[in-house]
Amino acid sequence: MTDLSVTSTDSHPAAVLARGDYAVLLTPAGGGASGFAGYALTRWTADRTRDADGYFVYLRDVDSGEVWSAGYQPAGRAADEYHASPARGEIVRRDGGVQTTLHVCPAVEGDAELRRITLANLGDAPRRIEVTTYAELVLNTPAGDAGHPAFSKLFVQTGWMEDRQALVAWRRLRSPHDEPLWVVHRLLDDGFGAPEMETDRARFIGRGRTLAAPAAMDVESRLSGSVGNVLDPVFSLRRVVTVQPGGSVTLVAVLGAGRTRRDVEAIADRYPDAATASKAIDRSGDAGSADAAALGVPESWLRTVDSLPPIPERETPLPVIPRIPAPKPDGGAEPEELRFFNGFGGFSADGREYVIRHGAGEHGPVRPPLPWTNVIANEEAGFLVSESGAASTWTDNSRENRLTPWSNDPVSDPHGEALYLRDDASGRFWSPTPGPVPGGGAYETRHGFGYTRFRTSAGELEQETTLFVPRRDPVKIVRLRLTSTADTEMRISAFSYAQLVLGGLPQETRGSIHTRWDDSARAILAVNPDRGEFSARVAFAAVVSSRGDVSWTADRAAFLGPYGSPEAPLAPRTAGPLNSAAGAGLDPCAALQLSLVIPPGATLEVAFLLGEARDEAAARAIISRFRTPGAVGTALEEVTRFWSDLVGGVQVQTPSPELDLMVNGWLAYQNLACRVWGRTAFYQSGGAFGFRDQLQDSSALVYLRPELTRRQIILHASHQFVEGDVLHWWHPPLSKGIRTRFADDLLWLPYITAFYVSSTGDAGVLDESAPFVTARQLEPGEDEVFLFPDDSGQRASVYEHCCRSIDRSLARGVHGLPLMGTGDWNDGMNRVGREGRGESVWMGFFLAGILDDFAPVCEARGDADRAARYRAHRAELGVALNDGGWDGGWYRRAYYDNGAPLGSAANDECRIDAIAQAWAVLSGVAPADRAEQALDAMEQHLVSEEEGIIRLLTPAFDRTPHDPGYIKGYLPGVRENGGQYTHAALWAVRALAQAGRTERAARLLGMISPVSHGRTEAEVAVYQAEPYVIAADVYGVAPHVGRGGWTWYTGSAGWMFRIALESVLGITLSGGDTLVVRPCVPRDWLGFTVRYRVPGGAATYEIAVTREEGAGIRGTVKGRPLEPVDGALRIPLAREGGEHRVQVALGREFAPAYVPE
């Protein structure tokens, strides 16, 4: 290899060192990637400004506590001398009396890399040095990991080979066609002691911290030894060595990969000690040509590190985070009392804000165990923001058209957007949000409906920062209100920083973005001509202020500085304006600086805008509109009024405040803002419409905004193929998506349409015309294809679309049950019926219910023949379900292609599944005795009140010889694989209510409520996730039992709203003109109240339910008696406005009776 030593002032080329199927990317700062046969072993993001990812070695002087790293990254500490030769695989640095030499090379024998760390003591006293390795594990393609890291991580397990003193990890296979991948890691020295170890990234870094100063490098910290199902896997080993004066010590870190456990065991055995491994390095000679294929990294990503910034020299001051004096006690009012305060936060008195209090901790403001976020959106744009202030903004499509980066990292919660304030007199700077540069005082975060507000004080400056999107414009507004309590004027600079993406991932778009300053708009404008349907759009960033000077830069490298970060940016600690750099070829950002003078005792209000419009003229118009005096405040008032009006449509007061808080706002908000409009969240950023997903979400809007349900029905009908199948999901605006063999997707159209018509009486939706799309059909053996469908030129009524969905779903297998295809509701069961013979018991119940609901629709339209055909099929299904679907003690889940049952007592894994039992009751197919048996079995095997969860299935898939699909690849107990999948848990509650189990339905619904998992600090320590929004899943196997999974982006929000209102409180709509009351509440509930506002009108109904003796139900409206019909009260809805009070007397023994269909 060519000898290329570079000093800190040279250009720094990175190098790829490859041998066979193994390759290493090494940058001069010590960053880079390790790859094997096209798979990423370690995580790396192409980022020429920060270069902060890689496989690292930390060093700590045990006696002094001083920490540095073998390269400049990740510790970011400048050395006294620093020489890097990536092409030779070598970095040498001197820090005082210690010289560190890192030598990296692919191994000659075996698919592995060797990293030799040589520590030389140049001083006259012994040095005890702690050596710690760190690598984030991927075991996936780089693109597969980058698109959704949290998902990718769920398939990786770790272990410890005691006999070899080695860490091992492997990827659980999602498909039989996947190639196995194993990795091994050792840290060798010449001693014989066992190293410390860690494979849990959260434990290593620490919540809210970064690799620059991780928790594992704190004084006296020890690695925890965690292995197994760690959820976020890393490799880290630690040894302590003593280096005598004038002497040196060598350690070698081994990282190897293979297709089997035996392969990686052989790699571990090949290097028994440091001496052997070091000799192998000396014999290695030149690595092969710099072929990046083994890394699997796209060439475009590699080009971003062709030219990296110089390594900072020791003279450069290290970034210092200023500690701002805490505010002086004001002797004012006591803090607001919060409901269900758990040590981190609680609900405001009216329940419409969740308030998080950040006390000052040793490493910054105290944070909850995971990011507690808000999703704020309108129909065109939105953003996600965590309690730290970290945010991601989008317009039109939250996956395909992000303006700023989306983070899927709950540990560090990095900032792609940031705010800073600087006291220009002292040079001290901090953030008015808890991150990324906290001041010294306490912070408060208030997540509300349509906004998030932060409050803090620094010295004599009170700060309030409010983030929101207007009701209609595609722009995010950050309103900053600064109040001086000083008796002299203050000179403050306010900075807004946003890393620009203008697409999906920064590493994909960075080279395509063009920026410029527009003098007429006084704004930064940015375009990305290479982003397909969004290419013409113009992003903008601007300041709204009546005073102060504005400077700007679109150069991220200039704002953050070489190897800088949002936690330690260069610009706010540098006097003077920003550098006004823009154009193509930069690492793009939108950074603005506003210099202000605040008179004594004055309050100033400014705003920062970040948005995007269809063209430059539209962008200028939006900016101009919000520069109109008072426009920002008016827009915020409009937003809060909109959400208050929407969630106010249904208000309840019950003996369960955990239920009330969710029903009275948070569920409806989560459903519309996140699921329907935003389609993104911290743990999953879809951007697309799911055919089954948003249809179900829209059903909950029947009670609040039925016109949105109607619109969603027509939209989804427009994404049906001529043949009757549908796009499983599609990305707006061009409807690119996937055609699949999923069996249930298309049936949600008639299911939701029938519910909508029954509830609203709006049969006119059935006559609405919607097009069919067309595209190539799936080939034999092809499970799915991503495509751009065309307009077929054919149109039909929504009614015909619904019928075509049903007709396509009537095929049955040998047991008389619907064919499962490559999955029904459970996407992970994608190989149960892949060969075309597998059958779904759950689909049988689902289809039976749809046929019951839709046959009357057919009759009402005069389509008697079709109605008769549907009823006949329904009758045959009922027989088949109670024959082949019954297992003896409960209902089976499905049949594999080979005829073997799934969800049977005969199975070793997945012996029972919740949705089969629930829908046996919900469909009315189960006879009364079998309904009782099925629900008893569900409660016995799947409900755990001690753990607070209702499992989807048990036992989890792990080693069964059957292949149900990628669900088996999930870690046991995670998501659908044996955890609580809340969607299904809510259906279980609905079934209990429908069967008249009044005590259990309400009790378990309260148990599922996130409020019940976050009432105390102890509960938060287990659940960890937000206690104010529903989670898609809760983990069900140790060591993570009870931990909340992916929050916000889940159909559980809409279903929980419906089930609380319809199934437990017993309030439903009929025909748009009748309110039906049929409660299913516990005997110890003495009463409850529901306040319902009729959509589109001024009429409000207050339904007050009280208890009396007996088993009946009776009521009055304005004193007029109501006669029960089939155990329910039917209340005619007035067309005129006004208040209508309904009194309901409910017998203590009243319970809805289960009536099989």
Tens of pLDDT, residue by residue over 635-644, are: 999 999 999 9
Q: How does pLDDT run across 808-860, given as a tens digit for each residue?
A: 999 999 999 999 999 999 999 999 999 999 999 999 999 999 999 999 999 99
Per DSSP, the three-state class of 191 is: coil
pLDDT of residue 132: 98
Per DSSP, the three-state class of 297 is: coil
pLDDT of residue 355: 98
- Taking alpha carbons only, the member of 668, 644, 604, 631 closest to residue 475 is 631
Number of other CB atoms surrounding residue 110 within 10 Å: 24
Report how far residue 568's alpha carbon sits from residue 560's, in angstroms, rounded to the nearest whole number. 7
Residue 461 pairs with which residues in a beta bridge? 458, 484
Query: What is the CA angle 1149-1151-1157, rounded to 5?
Result: 150
Average pLDDT, the chain: 94
Cβ atoms of 1016 and 1029 closer than 8 Å: no
pLDDT over threshold 80, residue 257: yes
Strands 514-518 and 523-527: antiparallel
pLDDT of residue 297: 73
Long-range contacts of 51-55 (CB under 8 A, 24+ apart): 51/27, 51/305, 51/308, 51/563, 52/211, 52/563, 52/565, 53/136, 54/27, 54/30, 54/135, 55/115, 55/133, 55/134, 55/135, 55/255
- Taking alpha carbons only, the member of 253, 291, 264 closest to residue 181 is 264
Side-chain-side CA neighbours of 1143 within 13 Å: the count stands at 8
Q: How does pLDDT run across 642-686, given as a tens digit for each residue?
A: 999 999 999 999 999 999 999 999 999 999 999 999 999 999 999
CATH 3.90.1150.150 assigned to domain 15-305? The reply is no
Cβ atoms of 591 and 571 closer than 8 Å: yes
Mean local confidence (pLDDT), 109-132: 96
Number of other CB atoms surrounding residue 856 within 10 Å: 15
Q: Give CA separation, 908 vs 223, 830, 1072, in Å.
A: 37, 19, 49
pLDDT over threshold 70, residue 328: no
Cβ atoms of 537 and 526 closer than 8 Å: no
DSSP state of 672: I
What would the two tokens of residue 301 be? 């990503």
Report how far residue 110's alpha carbon sits from residue 277's, in angstroms, rounded to the nearest whole number. 12
The domain made up of 1065-1147 has a fold known as: Maltose phosphorylase, domain 3 (2.60.420)
Domain locations along the chain: 15-305, 370-644, 679-809, 1065-1147
Report how far residue 574's alpha carbon sits from residue 577's, in angstroms, rounded to the nearest whole number. 9
**Of 1137 and 502, more confident:** 502
pLDDT of residue 380: 97
Number of other CB atoms surrounding residue 592 within 10 Å: 23
pLDDT of residue 333: 54
**b/e for 80-101, b at 16 or more Cβ within 10 A?**
eebbbbbbbbbbbbbbebbbbb
Q: Locate all alpha helices (DSSP H) within 729-840, ordered by sequence.
A: 748-760, 798-808
What is the distance of C-alpha 1152 from the center of its chain? 38
CATH 3.40.50.10490 assigned to domain 370-644? The reply is no
Number of other CB atoms surrounding residue 872 within 10 Å: 12
- Return the percentage of the chain with pLDDT > 70, whole number: 96
Phi, psi dihedrals of residue 148, rounded to the nearest 5°: -160, 75
Per DSSP, the three-state class of 475 is: strand
Report how far residue 460's alpha carbon sits from residue 1150's, in angstroms, rounded to the nearest whole number. 62
pLDDT of residue 304: 67
Confidence band for 4, pLDDT divided at 50, 70 and 90: very low
Residue 92 pairs with which residues in a beta bridge? 83, 101
Query: What is the CA angle 1100-1105-1108, rounded to 5?
Result: 155
pLDDT of residue 1: 25
pLDDT over threshold 70, residue 701: yes
Cβ atoms of 757 and 725 closer than 8 Å: no
Report how far residue 1119's alpha carbon sits from residue 1130's, in angstroms, rounded to the nearest whole number. 15
Per DSSP, the three-state class of 723 is: coil
pLDDT over threshold 50, residue 874: yes
Peptide bond preceding 972: is omega within 30 degrees of 0, i.e. cis?
no
Cβ atoms of 699 and 692 closer than 8 Å: no
pLDDT over threshold 70, residue 895: yes
| Three-state helix/strand/coil letters over 886-941 | ECCCCECCEECCCCCEECCCCCCCCCEEHHHHHHHHHCCCCCHHHHHHHHHHHHHH
pLDDT of residue 8: 39
Helices (H) and strands (E) in the chain, counts: 24, 61
Q: Give CA separation, 399 vs 257, 588, 1084, in Å.
A: 32, 19, 47
Report how far residue 983's alpha carbon sits from residue 975's, in angstroms, rounded to the nearest whole number. 11
Q: How does pLDDT run across 719-738, given as a tens digit for each residue?
A: 999 999 999 999 999 999 99
Q: Give CA separation, 639 vs 348, 448, 565, 642, in Å.
A: 19, 11, 33, 5
Confidence band for 1093, pLDDT divided at 50, 70 and 90: very high
Mean local confidence (pLDDT), 575-603: 97
Q: How does pLDDT run across 259-306, given as a tens digit for each residue?
A: 999 999 999 999 999 999 999 999 877 555 455 677 777 776 677 666
Mean local confidence (pLDDT), 1087-1102: 92
Confidence band for 314, pLDDT divided at 50, 70 and 90: low
pLDDT of residue 318: 39
Cβ atoms of 818 and 771 closer than 8 Å: no
Mean local confidence (pLDDT), 1040-1067: 97
Which helix (DSSP H) or strand (DSSP E) does residue 69 occupy? strand 67-69
pLDDT over threshold 60, residue 331: no
Which helix (DSSP H) or strand (DSSP E) does residue 1121 occupy? strand 1120-1122
Report how far residue 774's alpha carbon sits from residue 323's, in angstroms, rounded to the nearest whole number. 61
pLDDT of residue 440: 84
Name 71's Cβ contacts closer than 8 Å, sequence gap at least 6: 27, 28, 29, 30, 31, 54, 56, 57, 84, 91, 93, 102
Report how far residue 370's alpha carbon sits from residue 386's, in angstroms, rounded to the nearest whole number. 9
Number of other CB atoms surrounding residue 660 within 10 Å: 19
Q: Helix 982-994 vs helix 998-1008: angle between axes, to the nearest 10 degrees? A: 160
Phi, psi dihedrals of residue 99, rounded to the nearest 5°: -105, 130
- Return the percentage of the chain with pLDDT > 90, whole number: 89
pLDDT of residue 148: 92
Q: Do domains 15-305 and 370-644 have the same CATH topology?
A: yes
Mean local confidence (pLDDT), 203-214: 97
Strands 182-188 and 166-171: antiparallel
Name 192's Cβ contacts closer than 8 Å, sequence gap at least 6: none
Report how far residue 848's alpha carbon sits from residue 836's, in angstroms, rounded to the nearest whole number. 21
What would the two tokens of residue 602 be? 């004055």
Report how far residue 986's alpha carbon sits from residue 1005's, in angstroms, rounded to the nearest whole number. 7
pLDDT of residue 301: 66
What would the two tokens of residue 654 be? 């019950």
Q: What's the pTM?
A: 0.95
Mean local confidence (pLDDT), 587-616: 98
pLDDT over threshold 70, residue 12: no
